[in-house]
Amino acid sequence: MNPSDDFVVGYTKKVHFGCGNVYMTVNVDASNRPIQVFMQVGKAGCCQKTLLEGVCRLANRLFDRGEPLEEIVMCLVGLRCDQGIAGAGRLSCADALGHLLKSYTIQDLTPEPLHGLPVQQVP
């Protein structure tokens, strides 16, 4: 994110898991390329929130360094946890974030709904 930017455009997606709802926000630049990600878990314990924040901080550091989006996606997609909902295509919070970021790798770089859920633009 450019330090002179007062506002960024972001998309927030709510996804349900066995451990609760996960809210994933992707902020984009003027070209609609992801520049930051944030994840929040509703009613989660301190440890889970800390782990998700760590995943997002690492992804954001990779964005800052210009790492290709496809490389970040490959690191996240396919990770499983015991609270994932495999039948719905959600293996873990990291997997869901990977799929959300993957939607930005399509040609027109607009976010696609993840597993049929609408993407909402946050002003």
Predicted structure pTM score = 0.73
Would you list the domain boundaries of the chain? 9-112
Q: Which helix (H) or strand (E) holds 23?
A: strand 20-28
pLDDT at 38: 93
Phi-psi region of 5 (alpha: psi -120 to 50; beta: other; left: phi over 0): beta
In angstroms, the CA 26 to CA 97 distance is: 9
CA angle 63/36/11 to nearest 5° reads 135
pLDDT at 109: 44
User: Counting runs of H as helices and runs of E as strands, what totals does the chain give?
Assistant: 3, 4
pLDDT at 120: 47
Query: What are the tens digits of pLDDT across the range 34-75?
Result: 999 999 887 656 677 888 889 999 999 999 999 999 999 999
The pair of structure tokens assigned to 102 is 């993957």
pLDDT at 50: 85
5 pLDDT band, cuts 50/70/90, is low
The pLDDT > 90 percentage for the chain reads 26
In angstroms, the CA 8 to CA 6 distance is: 7
